[in-house]
Structure formats: C-alpha cells, structure tokens
Amino acid sequence: MSNVDTYLAQARADLTRLTPAEAHALPDALIVDIRPLHNRLAEGEIENSVVVERIVLEWRLDPTGDWRLPGFTADTPVVVVCNEGYSSSLAARDLQRIGLPNATDLIGGYRAWRAAGLPVREGGTQAVV
C-alpha cells in the first residue's frame, strides 16, 4: 500500500460514506462540488449542489467562521463530491476536523451520481470564492 492509499484509508475510517441514492435521499443535505471548472463544464453538475473550490472549502464551510456560506449549521449533513470519490474523502475528513461532524463524501463521486441517472444540470456554475 502506498502512502497516499494509507492516508486515504485513514480519512475514510472516520466517514460514513454515501452512495448516490443515499445522498439523493437526504432532504437537508448540502451537496458541495469541489471539482475543477473544466470537469464541471464537460460533465455537468449535481442539481441543487453548491460549487466551492477546494482551495477555499474550509473557509466557506467553517460553521463558526466569518467567511462561511449562509444556510447551514454544524449539524447539517454535508456531502462532498469530486470526480470519482477520492479527493472528496480527504476534503470531508478535513471538514469534520473543523466542526462538521456530519460531513462525508459520495462513493464514486459525480460520475457515479450521473451513472445512477440522478438529477444533473449543465456545468459551469460560478464557484463560491
């Protein structure tokens, strides 16, 4: 096992990862897309998701921070989405560390969501900066 595989396994040990169907069934979840613009333009985005660049993720989702997004609390389920469900695991673990105990990620990422036939929209939404 490589170092990054070990690091990923450690991050996932503290997550209750969700399938696309499970995430779609969460009525009050905040779905956060951290994928780069070129992926979102080419493949689309999850309907009703919010786009937050990975570089500012912790600042926008710190439940007590001055730069946080409106409309969520520390108790809100947060589902982080990347392309295939790898970098999102690391991001979700980091969100747990800053005070979002219900942060997790999407197994298989956006591509699994789309393959499951769940609602998507055309990509290119302006990221929250």
Residue 72 lies in a domain: yes
Q: Tell me: the pLDDT tens digits for 90-109?
A: 999 999 999 999 999 999 99
* 67: containing domain: 3-121
Is the torsion defined by CA of 55, 10, 73, 82 positive or negative? Answer: positive
The rounded Cα 82 to chain-centroid distance in angstroms is 6
For the chain (129 residues), the mean pLDDT of every run of 10, in chain order, is: 90 97 96 97 96 96 95 96 98 98 98 98 86
In a domain, 78, yes or no: yes
The domain that holds 27 is classified in CATH as 3.40.250.10
d(CA 24, CA 46): 10
Kindly give the pairing relationship between strand 45-46 and strand 120-121: antiparallel
The pTM assigned to this predicted structure is: 0.95
CA distances 82 to 10, 45, 64, 66, 99, Å, are: 18, 10, 25, 25, 21
* pLDDT score recorded for residue 5: 93
Query: Do the domain assignments include residue 102?
Result: yes
* Structural domains counted in the chain: 1
Residue 128 lies in a domain: no
In a domain, 127, yes or no: no
